[in-house]
Structure 1
Amino acid sequence: MNHCRLPSACVAIQILVVSFAISTFATAAENPNIIVVLADDLGYSDLGCYGGEIRTPNIDALAGGGAKFTQLYNSARCCPSRASLMTGLYPTQAGIGDFTTDKPDRNRGPGYLGRLRDDCVTIAEVLKPAGYGCYYVGKWHMHPETGPIKRGFDEFYGYTNAHSHDQYDADYYVRLPQGRDKEIDPPAEQFYATDVFNRYALEFIRQGQKTGSPWLLFLGHSSPHFPIQAPAERADAYEELYRRGWDVLRAERFERMKQNGLINGKSWTLPPREIVPVDRDDIANGFSGQQNPAWESLDESRRNDLVRRMAVFAAMVEAVDRGVGEIVEHLKTTRDLDNTLILFLSDNGACYEWGPFGFDGKSRRGTTTLSSDTDLRNIGGRGTHQSYGSAWANLGNTPFRMYKHFTHEGGISTPFIVHWPRGFGTRDDWIRQPVHVMDILPTLMDAAGAEYPSVFNGIEITPAEGCSLMPVLRGERLPKRSIGFDHQAAHALRAGDWKIVYSKRMPHDLKWELYNLANDRCETVDLAEQEPERLQTMVAAWETWATRVGVTQKADANQAGVKSRGSAHDANKQSDVKSPKVSNRPLRLRVLVQSENPNGVAIAQGGNQHGYALHFIEGRPAFDVRINGSVTRLAFDSPVHGTISLDAIITGDEITLAVNGGKPIVAKSPGLIPVEPMDQLSVGFDDRTAAGDYAAPNRLRGSVLEYTVNETDVVTTDNDRTLHDD
């Protein structure tokens, strides 16, 4: 990967040029003020300036007076994208390779701590030495243990724990540092988090302006992430619009994208409605692995329910836009707008969770049709917890494939707008160079004249991966580079016009796909079979990248004899793994493992409600059975190594575990698994919600040689379930 941040001499020259025209009402320093506005789960085309029908006039005005990008990439999900944006690194280099957690799996390495690492620095930690006051509003989601005040911000209002929360729950949102009184504290019945975040953004801007020094405001909205919530009267305004359905609106978005110049030429083709990722039917609304349904195929009550969900989502987006308008108006009034660098983007693609009808309730399982007018207007109200589903998300990601969680373009493509009149003026074109959220910190450093430290708090710091985008904003081209992606068994690599992508939860054999994005930005024609050598070269490049940035770990001395078949992704290959029926029946399990230092999951089926797992705890064999969320465990006291056989049985009376044919240990059974588990059978890892009492994803250090479940034939795996090659 090429490092392409501008030399400091170039930064100094640009700052000198900009400094001549600073307003007397602007900051005393010559550096710009900086505002980063990050929306949550906003789709690529949800904004009006990107083709959407949602009313976003204030964001659109920023785009019209600044620059807009067609190929800004994110890291497929909220907290990995935030970690990358905040540090200028890939997510694993920042410590949040897949998700935040209090129980990191140390076998996966420091890339999966589930919090920001100590050997990275944040935007605030870089800008404060350059004289900036640093303020944060909204969602943090990089673990409260490494919260905003600990990582360089002076003032904070919002929440540091969890990915989302009820927008009406006033007591949940906090003011930091500890001991600060809330400057804005509306009565509980008037509280709506998005509005309060907007008000706090203005409050912190005013505080920054009073100092006479340049300031940074990071406004990390939780809107429009689920639970979709907005005051009913705001959603009312969108109902008639969304009665037209996703098929009509998706086609109209595509046409508007042609008209506004975002889509250029014949390289963009609107794909068919996207599939619903493979999952349990009650989660996928009965459409697991199938195409999202046609709007007109749904009955009226279902359409009414879905109209309201999308109307609430749109009202959330409009509330974010309203806050942008209030900020811009304030900056105009105080004559700070011309020398304020404003960036607007989203953290990932639109969210499919889970099926075309969305979900109801915090369990996020399935949905019921709400038909009465009262019930419909309650969608998005206080105490509700609902999503809008995969079909509306497919509209949000127009014209791309797939969604958040995935590394197809729909999961990792972000609308990106930059506005700085004094810095580069107005760009009438669309900037089409591929860039990444890790480029934002180097861009802010370039604009602010800040330096990325090699040592911080006595710790050697990982060099920034990102590139300054200031040359791009002024009409230049970046040096050639590749950009890598990985998120929970979804991989990709972008190199020039070419992209490989390996997905998960697809209704076909998992494999690497190959696309020429110059000719096929929407990934409609897989060229893997026509270009096998290019594919192999790019897969090898992805594997090299994955090892370099800590996605995968190099085998240690204890693993030197472990054989791996094929490329890294084979460890997740599920095409030969069949998920047996396990509900309401006794189970007999057997797995044969080869490892000199086993740890992690050998086989698992199920999730955090029902399932089972055969695994190792630092060499000690263990058998977990989960019923209704509770885990019963059998575990041996002594570690084992070499070639290891595990035999386990579940009956209505007892569960047993034996190692290498020896005497089993026995416990009272929690019962038979009552329903088919939510997650499929995984071999050599558990990649989603944990079937056992461990943190997921969880991968095996070693190889699964063969396994059986009940009366199925022995499945030999040719040693391809090898840890640290995923």
Structure 2
Amino acid sequence: MGKEIREYRPGTAFPGIIGRTAGESTPAWPQPTRATPGSPNVVYIVLDDTGFGQLGCYGSPVATPNLDALAANGLLYNNMHTTALCSPSRSCMITGRNHHSNAMAAITEISTGYPGYNGNIPFENGFLSEMLLQHGYNTYMVGKWHLTPSEQESAAGPYDRWPLGRGFERFYGFLGGDTSQWYPDLVYDNHQVEPPATPEQGYHLTADLVNKAISFIADAKQVAPDKPFFLDFCTGATHAPHHVPKEWADHYRGRFDAGWDAYREETFARQKQLGVVPQETRLSRHDPDVPDWGSLSADSRRLAARMMEVYAGFLTHTDHHIGRLVEFLGEIGELDNTLIMVVSDNGASAEGGVTGTTNEGQFFNNAPEPIEDSLTAIDELGGPTTFNHYPWGWTWAGNTPFRRWKRETYRGGTSDPFLVHWPRGFKARGEIRTQFTHIIDMVPTVLDTLGIERPDVIRGVAQSPLQGISFAHTFDAPSAPTNHHTQYYEMFGHRALDHDGWRAVCPWPGPSFTEAGSPWGTPLNAETLTSLDANNWELYHIDQDVAETNDLAVDQRDKLIELISLWYVEAGKYNVLPIDSTATQRMMTERPQITEDRTRYTFRPGTQTIPRASSPRILNRPHSVTADVEIPSGGAEGVLLCEGTDVGGWSFFLQGGKLRYVHNYVRRAVYRVESAESVPEGRHELRFEFEPTGKPDIAGGKGAPGRAQLYVDGSLVGEEDFPVTTPVTFQPAGMTCGANPGSPVAGDYAPPFRFTGVLHSVTVDLSGELITDMQSEMRVHMARQ
């Protein structure tokens, strides 16, 4: 029987006795931080771009048996709301504050210099991870992060806004908005790592994330089985690229041949049958931006149907692996006392465009492939050689019964699936809850169920009040009142307000792009805003019209004016002003950088991949790439410097003794230049130069043509004229020195193709004016949320 250990709270007086010797003294120890016995675990499962009508338990024909089981053994909420965009929503669900209060009006790639828009979540808005850490919880973040300013995602940091800087003890996932499911950009804690296997070996990101989540939990439980944990599990699914093993997509072969109109009708009927929507609900109108399925050519229908089959397989595959996580919690006896909340960050995404794409890189570079080319790749959809996204007809259908989609504040953008499962915490099983909730309510609800108060101070920083409201009172009370009465929305000038069963919406640039005659991102000036406030707000009695089908703005003018005024009150409270609808201008905003801008970059092998935001911008401008190498006896081969992947990029390398360069133009064409002779052994300066010979046609999807030249020790050894180059971006991207990890830029070699000689450094030198198209770059950033 061990001697009893005396403990005291750190910061209080030492309660032991200190004498001249240990024999005359009595020890006491600082008390470790321990959770209250029996405290539940907390698990967030965050889906990406998954619409209200895409889970089986919400009426979808897509099979999601494991999520359905959570609903059947827990609660399904049909009135949960998000911000309509990724990073803003994620900031809300982890802080309990509104997105503008978090400085997350949108994604950090388009931040501006206003308190609600600068992209740096204030430290006074503590994360749930930071709160629970103070109460003896282990804290794990697995999957998509996207809460760090993009210019801070490189190895230069700073790291205080990475997961480990915001209260998570362990992290495994990706920092940005999207990544390949086959060749992801992975970060483990604070450093990059490569995937543990290849697609050929069966690798897929979702399975890897679940494996890591399980291992994090198991690591701690085998040492401290009674210590609770908080797991923020954020899949990359179902954000594009829609990557999934072919057999999962083939399971849905022919299931969507009737098209998106039929999907909506069938899903809506099931939603009524399940009680997910009230019986009196009317299905929202056919969206003017979506073509009638019957108007498409047979080839277009075949392609679109396959894209949806791939998406459905992707979602079912995701559900399968979420099931593995839930099963593990059951195996270790933790499931019943784990509070699980499942949510999507916004409605389904329309970023695939009206026709969809086999490679998002083509869409971002204004170079969509003709349908004939898409059809040649139809059997590759979902695989490692594609970066695919479905047409926005499926987006609209995925948000059944609501209007519109992600990035807009109609309910298609803001109303999302939400499940709560906690067998030990409440008695209700398989019931629907209709109370109004918003993702800022998740943190207050967790704290409420745990009996924890919001801390006044975290790491010496005084904390701001929570802005969400607990809905824990609804768990066992289906008729409990709604406690969250008012909620504003704003996303790129698209505004809305929910208040006590009424909803006002002011769409911008209009109810649809077709009706507005203007695209998303159209600037909004003061005169137009005044006119919008006077004439363009819509009003819906959501308690009776959940799908926004009956505009009462004319008949209920007093109510509308009340809600417009209230929107401005909320906007003043939460840093929403100034309203900014722009895209291009926000992309062009100069932001504080950790280093001064420069035209010369030096890279070294063995270092981490440089994220796109921190890489030199070489497109459409003269540039050179110079490698300082030593070639051993017998020769050497491998990559000197590369950027991008097999869906677009470039690589400078040695192979077969010769110096080579390839440029992959949006996966449609690969242009090559190689040296006439082999590079001899010894130390050499190997150089690639690109000199534009014409102007780019960015709107037409063509980057500057140019002369590609290779030099060895200053002597020209090879040249070719490239008729076109990539105009806007390599998507996905990342610049690596000395190897090509992940998917190879071209089929010339197998990854990682590490350089086998001695590579001292590689220098990229830029000169001339950079030619850019900010509207196109904006589309890239927005698709990565």
Q: What are the within-5 Å matches in structure 2 for residues 642-721 of structure 1?
A: 675=699, 690=774
Distance 1:692 1:165, change over 3 A: closer
Aligned to 2:301: 303
Aligned to 1:704: none
Aligned to 1:400: 402
Aligned to 1:550: 575
In 1, the alpha carbon distance for the partners of 2:591 and 2:331 equals 61
Letter in 2 for 1:66: G
In 2, the alpha carbon distance for the partners of 1:531 and 1:340 equals 46
In 2, the alpha carbon distance for the partners of 1:29 and 1:186 equals 40
Aligned to 1:647: none
Q: How far did 1:538 drift?
A: 0.9
Deviates more, 1:419-428 or 1:345-354: 419-428
In 1, the alpha carbon distance for the partners of 2:95 and 2:258 equals 42
Q: Does 1:225 align with 2:239?
A: yes
Q: Does 1:65 align with 2:73?
A: yes
2:330 is paired with a residue of what secondary structure?
Answer: helix
* Residue in structure 2 matching 1:273, options 282, 286, 300: 286
Contact 1:499/1:514 (CA < 8 Å) preserved in 2? yes
Deviates more, 1:361-370 or 1:66-75: 361-370
Distance 1:605 1:324, change over 3 A: closer
Q: How far did 1:178 drift?
A: 4.4
In 1, the alpha carbon distance for the partners of 2:777 and 2:70 equals 48
Q: Does 1:137 align with 2:139?
A: no
1:538 is paired with a residue of what secondary structure?
Answer: helix
Q: How far did 1:519 drift?
A: 1.7
* Residue in structure 2 matching 1:517, options 538, 542, 566: 542
In 1, the alpha carbon distance for the partners of 2:249 and 2:777 equals 41
2:317 is paired with a residue of what secondary structure?
Answer: helix
* Residue in structure 2 matching 1:105, options 107, 112, 123: 112
Q: What are the within-5 Å matches in structure 2 for residues 228-267 of structure 1?
A: 228-266=242-280
1:483 is paired with a residue of what secondary structure?
Answer: strand
Letter in 2 for 1:311: E
Q: Does 1:152 align with 2:159?
A: no
Contact 2:469/2:483 (CA < 8 Å) preserved in 1? no
2:63 is paired with a residue of what secondary structure?
Answer: coil
Letter in 2 for 1:148: P
Q: What are the within-5 Å matches in structure 2 for residues 272-351 of structure 1?
A: 272-276=285-289, 292-351=290-349
Contact 2:471/2:483 (CA < 8 Å) preserved in 1? no
Q: What are the within-5 Å matches in structure 2 for residues 518-537 of structure 1?
A: 518-537=543-562
In 2, the alpha carbon distance for the partners of 1:197 and 1:32 equals 22
In 2, the alpha carbon distance for the partners of 1:77 and 1:367 equals 28
Q: How far did 1:243 drift?
A: 1.6
Per-residue CA deviation, residues 500-522 of structure 1 (Å, 9 max, x unaligned), is 11112334466211111112111
Aligned to 1:468: 470
Contact 1:242/1:307 (CA < 8 Å) preserved in 2? yes
Q: Does 1:499 align with 2:503?
A: yes
Higher gyration radius (CA): 2
Q: How far did 1:451 drift?
A: 2.4
Q: How far did 1:446 drift?
A: 1.6
Aligned to 1:116: 121
1:546 is paired with a residue of what secondary structure?
Answer: helix
Aligned to 1:6: none
Q: Does 1:185 align with 2:196?
A: yes
Q: How far did 1:115 drift?
A: 3.1
In 1, the alpha carbon distance for the partners of 2:306 and 2:698 equals 34
Letter in 2 for 1:346: S
Q: How far did 1:357 drift?
A: 1.3
The number of aligned residues is 542
Letter in 2 for 1:483: Q
Distance 1:354 1:125, change over 3 A: same
In 2, the alpha carbon distance for the partners of 1:386 and 1:250 equals 22
* Residue in structure 2 matching 1:203, options 210, 215, 220: 215
Letter in 2 for 1:105: T
In 1, the alpha carbon distance for the partners of 2:542 and 2:139 equals 38
Distance 1:616 1:42, change over 3 A: closer
* Residue in structure 2 matching 1:368, options 342, 367, 370: 370
Unaligned runs of 5+ in 2: 1-34, 154-158, 517-531, 593-617, 622-693, 702-772
Distance 1:300 1:531, change over 3 A: same
1:92 is paired with a residue of what secondary structure?
Answer: coil
Distance 1:74 1:220, change over 3 A: same
Letter in 2 for 1:324: I
Distance 1:147 1:264, change over 3 A: same
RMSD across aligned positions (CA): 3.3
* Residue in structure 1 matching 2:383, options 358, 381, 384: 381
In 1, the alpha carbon distance for the partners of 2:233 and 2:584 equals 40
Percent of residue pairs bearing the same amino acid type: 30
Aligned to 1:541: 566
Q: How far did 1:57 drift?
A: 0.6
Q: How far did 1:99 drift?
A: 1.1
Contact 1:357/1:367 (CA < 8 Å) preserved in 2? no
1:345 is paired with a residue of what secondary structure?
Answer: strand
In 2, the alpha carbon distance for the partners of 1:433 and 1:368 equals 47
Q: How far did 1:392 drift?
A: 0.3
Distance 1:676 1:318, change over 3 A: closer
Q: How far did 1:265 drift?
A: 2.7
Aligned to 1:682: none
Contact 1:90/1:438 (CA < 8 Å) preserved in 2? yes
- What is the TM-score with the length of structure 2 in the denominator? 0.64
Per-residue CA deviation, residues 263-319 of structure 1 (Å, 9 max, x unaligned), is 2231x111232232xxxxxxxxxxxxxxx1222221221111111111111111112
* Residue in structure 2 matching 1:84, options 67, 92, 97: 92
Letter in 1 for 2:550: V
Deviates more, 1:466-475 or 1:27-36: 27-36
Per-residue CA deviation, residues 511-539 of structure 1 (Å, 9 max, x unaligned), is 21111111211111111111222111211
Q: How far did 1:68 drift?
A: 0.6
Unaligned runs of 5+ in 1: 1-26, 277-291, 554-568, 573-600, 619-627, 632-669, 678-688, 698-726
Letter in 1 for 2:561: Q
Q: Does 1:175 align with 2:188?
A: yes
